[in-house]
Structure 1
Amino acid sequence: MASLDRFNAASLLVCLLLCPFAAGFYLPGVAPRDFEKGDDLQVKVNKLSSTKTQLPYDFYFLDYCKPTKIRNSAENLGEVLRGDRIENSVYTFKMKSDQGCNIGCRIKLSAESAKNFKEKIDEEYRVNMILDNLPVAVVVKPRREEIHTKFYEHGFRVGFKRPVAGTKNYKYFINNHLSFKVMFHEDTESQTARIVGFEVLPLSVAHEYSEWDAKNPKVRSCDAKSKVVPGEHQGQEVDAGKEIVFTFDVTFEPSEIKWASRWDTYLLMNDDQIHWFSIINSLMIVLFLSGMVAMIMMRTLYKDIANYNQLETQEEAQEETGWKLVHGDVFRPPVKAGLLCVYVGTGVQFLGMTLVTMVFALLGFLSPSNRGGLMTAMVLLWVFMGLFAGYASARLYKMFKGGEWKKNTLKTAFMFPGIVFSVFFVLNALIWGEQSSGAVPFGTMFALVLLWFGISVPLVFVGSYLGYKKPAMEDPVKTNKIPRQVPEQAWYMRPAFSVLVGSILPFGAVFIELFFILTSIWLNQFYYIFGFLFIVFVILVITCAEITIVLCYFQLCSEDYHWWWRAYLTAGSSALYLFLYSAFYFFTKLEITKLVSGVLYFGYMLIVSYAFFVLTGTIGFYACFWFVRKIYSSVKID
């Protein structure tokens, strides 16, 4: 693995120097490949995965048949972070050449090997394989009576167990025979074909033989001229000392599916109608609420401005109450102004990364066929968006008349990624302790640190330098030297209550979509409806902006001018509801029982919630910042 780590680190650095975005969006094997009859086909093996543990393992962690030399396929950064480990296997075919039962190898199980197999069967691990960039799938019966529709499960189970009558024990059986089906779409003119489907029927077969000849093995239950019939032989039991013969057969089948559509079956969801209905319903509700809020705000605000501008005498001005009275304090720098600048800068960085990633996803560059592309793109875009983080942070810091811009820049460059990296490092240590392939290798970890210190940090400093060089933003009104006393606030206008109530609406905007995103991440399903995701993101931005503006207006009307942090927290606190929902999802939808797996789930969801806090908080802050400057520049101040 050490050589693989060095390769990952070196290739990543070369990619960053020569073509940064290529590393995120290009994956060898995505382009169509034409095969002729008799061409060699090599099945590659990927990780063992389980939704019950969320801990991936290398295929050869279990005692499966090994080729003479195990070769690792080149993987991008996203694949390594996802725990993918793609290697060659003993399963080889000839294009368009059906094969009967072939013998892979014979394995005699040691006590440790049998224990590992039983553990993985208990934890419902699935084997993932790849042929021409298509993952192997098992056909399952649909819930509804749809004769012509296939539904796939990704990968096949390591095995199964059955209870022993009259006891609490189980017998364990391994799926040692794989019946592959390869679908191809043929070009009648060139006589070449493209692979458009890769299915498998896993079977447990207790093969029969008298004497084993390693050079020319003969097994009575495995005939090279025919396939193994399901149910014809009893299952292969797993136990120490058992000899297991691994076999496979393959059938090639022509298909009308074209290469461009070959992923459609993989992306089908059994509840896609509910998915679409829920998203549309959610969008309509949020759009309706947002429109109502915007209409009320505009009518009330125009009335306020008209009334303030009609005041003619000093006595009338003194008797007037509302948001105009705090004009001398509304732009007073907040407590912990530097920290606010850091979080706003980080939020701009995250917002830029999210927008560009979604654009590339909409264009099809980050489809599920491009394994690891989404993760790679997000990491690289985060690094390059450091320029905007430094600029936004410095502009705000200079407006607050801060004098230590270098210190502020360092905080911007290190605070958010430092916290995330620390949590990630602890989680990675736990994964490493479980000997899982999900543990990020040292070479990749070094590459991540190099991206952070070598590219992101310098870009933050460049952006900060450019932002601090520009003239400071001038306030529409002058700030008084002596701060005005804030009157006693009603219970419903106190910070904690208004922040928690206000953040419900932004969470409601993503609530439905969040379920499908969590399902794709934790239940090993593909997420592909990026168009709807983009619409939901736009609705989220609008909702964050509007609810923050409304509550900020009410706050100023009650003569409380401490709006800076309140604006950030009103939208940002929706992350609290996101984390609480993830806890609800954990206990109601997942079957995780291992302590380490539970810690990993909540650790990663904590990182996601923190990022959501920074993103939504920044959107709310800038909306409120624009609103406050706009209304105070619209009234006459004597």
Structure 2
Amino acid sequence: MRRDRGSHEVRTLISTIVLLLSIHSTLGFYLPGVAPEDFQTGDSLNVKVNKLSSTKTQLPYSYYSLPYCRPQTIVDSRENLGEVLRGDRIENSPFVFKMREPQMCHVVCQLTLDPKTAKEFKDKIADEYRVNMILDNLPLVEPIPRLDQEAPPVYQLGFNVGVKGQHSGSKDEKFFIHNHLTFTVKYHKDMQTDSARIVGFEVKPFSVKHEYEGQWNENTRLTTCDPHAQRTVSSSNSPQEVEDKQEIIFTYDVKFQESNVKWASRWDTYLLMSDDQIHWFSIVNSLMIVLFLSGMVAMIMLRTLFRDISKYNELETQEEAQEETGWKLVHADVFRPPNNSDLLCVYVGTGVQFIGMMLVTMMFAVLGFLSPSNRGGLMTVMLCLWVCMGFFAGYVSARLYKMFKGTEWKKIAFRTAFLFPATVFAVFFVLNALIWGQKSSGAVPFGTMFTLVFLWFGISFPLVFAGSYTGFKKPAIEDPVKTKQIPRQIPEQAWYMNPIFSILIGGILPFGAVFIELFFILTSIWLNQFYYIFGFLFLVFIILIVTCAEISIVLCYFQLCSEDYLWWWRSYLTSGSSALYLFLYATFYFFTKLDITKPISGMLYFGYMLIASYAFFVLTGTIGFYACFLFTRLIYSSVKID
């Protein structure tokens, strides 16, 4: 019997390991950070190419969507779920270096343009597409000098496919391609072993109309770029124009430069480019809002509320037959279930799912587990945590549903598992169809779409149902006061207590606490920059939680004092309305900071920002709801009710 039990446990353990490995391979997820690789002199350095990206179109394309020089066999690198959703397409390239062995005027290939290929290059140049490359998991950057010569240069990811302008006095606009690349590989040398680690990968692109004598072949020597004569290209060379029947020769130089930067600090160049003072200003701005709200809440709790509770309890003990006023007057109606209580339960459960996902993700990021060297790792972790938090979404929605005297827990579980993901997936599917129509690498392939559906129906759905079953089996949450059968009539409210007005006012302060940090987030997403200041972001997120809770409590107290007991939905919408201001700010950002002109790109921007605003609404609304839920239970359990 024990042997059977032991074999059963072994089989269970093996099946669990197989399941985890299958999920691991499906997601392509791995822990962040790449082990340093030591290179000896003469070791091969294989450069990989990534997507072509543009901040004007927001539509990434594969590197070989343009007729660039190709290796004999194109090999796709294995990408995780986050990389695929970001549009990354990492492939090998014909650029192969030898460690610490400089090369000059190395010819990659020769290409003669036809009308089709010329148009493809012109379109990408006009849309300001940049070529992204990777060496030893480090992205290629182009240093741009500042006006202040002593200041460090600004680094931009990749290099432009080409430039457009005028040449040789012509008034017609011409297109010139960057066909010569001067690479600089920075390395940190180990003095004991003489090995080296790569700590920098920079490029300076040139457009050069190469010339040679005789007929072209593999051994032809260029007169414009001759390694034997130690002559390379410079800005004085004639640029290579992009036109039909033009011959383009692609070349590159490689220089190796020893650096004092250690391998562990090689990402600092990319990550520490933003000004920390602005982020501190954002924190101080947010803290001022929190202190203002905290003062109001303290005044309500310590003075007004405690005074009310003492007066009400005194009236009960002295048996004074005075008419009740203020928030105590609605005690028999304050916990009456709201209209559309099922929908409220669904949104609160989904909000808890979001809060759990955000908190755990930020803790991982603050502790350094989500390194930028793990491309797509942040998005992969967020999707995994969203799926895993489905249990808590089902649990919370079922508990709230049972408190509202609901009986069909399966219905509420289904709606919790389906409503928000289905809405987002529908918008995402339409946007993906638009990207697919543009033949962009940003279009999610069928296999990845199947993975997303599997995560939704195969993991999230069962977890939501398991959470709902567990939550519904728990005893119902009891109200601190009894609710009468006949609802009380709500008196006419002052203009400033109008639901629409108070809801819109309530969303301003939570948005004001985060809008400065929101600028950097939008810049990193839409202007192709790194964002890695998760310590600041975590502080701002905590401030957002406190702000949403406090503004909801303040307005809920004023509402109850006006004898309006319909606080359930208003508490959710008060802080949730900050999502409206987020979308309005995103619209302002679109017209002031971005240079998007194509309709498809504009639809992608507003589609994704609509999804982000919807998620922000669910997140902040849930915070406000729970703050008011705990507040009302606290104050009504503190007074004596006959």
Match of 1:462 among 463, 466, 481: 466
1:243 matched to 2:247: yes
Deviates more, 1:158-167 or 1:577-586: 158-167
| 1:320 is aligned to 2:315 | no
Q: 1:114 aligns with which of 93, 118, 123?
A: 118
Partners in 1 of 2:206 and 2:436 — Cα distance? 32
Q: Which residue of 124, 131, 139 corresponds with 2:128?
A: 124
354-363 or 317-326, which moves further after superposition? Answer: 317-326
> Match for residue 26 of structure 1?
31
How many Å apart are 1:273 and its aligned residue?
4.7
Match for 2:226 among 223, 228, 251? 223
Q: Residue type of the partner of 2:178?
A: N
How far does residue 17 in structure 1 lie from its aligned partner after superposition?
4.3
Where in structure 2 are the equivalents of 1:424-463 lying within 5 Å? 424-463=428-467
Deviation of residue 637 (structure 1)? 0.4
Question: Shift in Å at residue 274 of structure 1?
Answer: 4.7
Residue 564 (structure 2) pairs with residue 560 (structure 1): yes
Aligned match for 1:291, one of 287, 291, 294: 294
Q: Which residue of 1 aligns with 2:172?
A: 169
* Equivalent residue for 1:95, pick from 99, 108, 132: 99
Aligned counterpart for 1:209 among listed residues 212, 215, 219 = 212
In structure 2, the residue matched to 1:5 is: none
Residues 17-65 of structure 1, C-alpha deviation per residue, up to 9 Å, x if partnerless? 46599954525x7221111111110000000001111111100111110
Over 3 Å counting, the alpha-carbon distance change for 1:317 and 1:188 in structure 2 is farther
CA contact (8 A) 2:283 2:540 kept: no
User: Cα distance 1:168–1:607, how it changes in 2: closer, same or farther (>3 A)?
Assistant: farther
Who is 1:402 aligned against?
406
- Asked if the contact 1:286/1:539 (under 8 Å) is kept, the reply is no
Structure 1 counterpart of 2:57, from 53, 56, 76: 53
Query: Partner residue of 2:495?
Result: 491
Q: Which residue of 2 aligns with 1:308?
A: 312
Q: Output one character per residue of 1:326-345: Cα deviation in whole Å (capped at 9) or x when no partner.
A: 11111110000000000000
CA offset at residue 317 of structure 1? Answer: 5.6
What is the CA–CA distance in structure 1 between the aligned matches of 2:629 and 2:26, rounded to whole Å? 33
Give the letter aligned to residue 350 of structure 1: F
Task: In structure 1, give the amino acid aligned to 2:477.
Answer: M
Report how far residue 302 of structure 1 moved: 1.1
The CA distance in 2 between the partners of 1:560 and 1:351, in whole Å, is: 29
**Is 1:150–1:265's contact at 8 Å kept on the other side of the alignment?**
no
Amino acid at match of 2:195: T
1:476-506, Cα deviation, whole Å (9 max, x unpaired): 0111011111111111111100000011010
Number of equivalenced pairs? 623
1:331 aligned to 2:335?
A: yes
The verdict on how the C-alpha distance between 1:594 and 1:316 changes in structure 2, with shifts beyond 3 A counting, is farther
1:353 corresponds in structure 2 to 357
Is 1:198 matched with 2:210?
A: no
Secondary structure, in 3 states, of the residue corresponding to 2:106? strand
1:284/1:18 CA distance change after superposition, 3 Å = closer
Give the TM-score normalised by the residue count of structure 2. 0.94
Q: Is the 8 A contact 1:499 1:573 kept in 2?
A: yes
Q: Tell me the TM-score normalised to structure 1 length.
A: 0.95
Q: CA deviation at 1:167?
A: 7.3
Deviations 1:307-359 (A, max 9, x none): 11111379746512111111111111000000000000000001111001001
Q: Gapped runs of 5+ residues in structure 2?
A: 1-17
Partners of 2:25 and 2:185 in 1: CA distance: 36
> Would you say the 8 A contact 1:121–1:160 is kept in 2?
yes
Tell me the CA shift for residue 279 of structure 1. Answer: 1.6
Moved more, 211-220 or 424-433: 211-220
Over 3 Å counting, the alpha-carbon distance change for 1:165 and 1:316 in structure 2 is: farther
Q: Out of 277, 280, 284, which is 1:281 matched to?
A: 284
In structure 2, what is the Cα distance between the partners aligned to 1:32 and 1:617? 45
1: CA distance, partners of 2:339 / 2:173: 63
Preserved CA contact (<8 Å) 2:283 2:536: no
Could you say which residue in structure 2 is the equivalent of 1:546? 550
**Equivalent of residue 474 in structure 1, options 470, 473, 478:** 478
Cα distance in 2 between the residues matched to 1:448 and 1:45:
26
Q: Deviations for 1:246-276, whole angstroms, at most 9, x for unmatched residues?
A: 001101111000011111111233x515523
Output the amino acid matched with 1:26: L
Residue from 536, 541, 548 that aligns with 1:537: 541
Q: Could you say if the C-alpha distance between residues 279 and 144 of structure 1 is closer, same or farther in structure 2, counting changes exceeding 3 Å? A: farther
The Cα of 1:101 is off from its aligned counterpart by: 1.1
Cα deviation 1:342-384 (Å, max 9, x = unaligned): 0000000011110010011001121322210111111111111
Q: Deviation string for 1:416-448 (max 9, x for gaps)? A: 000000000000000011111110111101110
How far, CA to CA, are the matches of 2:434 and 2:94 in structure 1? 32
Partner of 1:624: 628
1:187 aligned residue: 190
| Pairing partner for 1:588 from 576, 580, 592 | 592
- Give CA deviations for 1:104-149 in whole Å, capped at 9, x if unaligned: 00111111111111111111111000000111011111254434x2
Determine the structure 2 residue equivalent to 1:366. Answer: 370
Structure 2: distance between partners of 1:485 and 1:403: 28
CA shift digits 1:603-622 (9 cap, x unpaired)? 00000000000000000000
Give the match's secondary structure for 1:312: helix
Tell me which residue corresponds to 1:516: 520
Change (3 A) 1:23 1:311: farther
Q: Answer yes or no: is the 8 Å Cα contact 2:178–2:208 preserved in 1.
A: yes
Deviation at 1:217, TM superposition (A): 3.5
Instruction: Verify the 8 A CA contact 1:181 1:252 in the aligned structure 2.
Output: yes
Q: Indicate the SS of the match to 2:93.
A: coil
1:79 counterpart (83, 86, 89): 83
| 3-state secondary structure, aligned to 1:489 | coil
Per the alignment, residue 601 of structure 1 pairs with 605
Unaligned residue ranges in structure 1 (runs of 5+): 1-12
- CA change 1:289–1:144 in 2 (3 A) is farther
CA separation of 1:194 and 1:616: change in aligned 2, threshold 3 A:
same
Offset at residue 97 of structure 1 (A)? 0.7
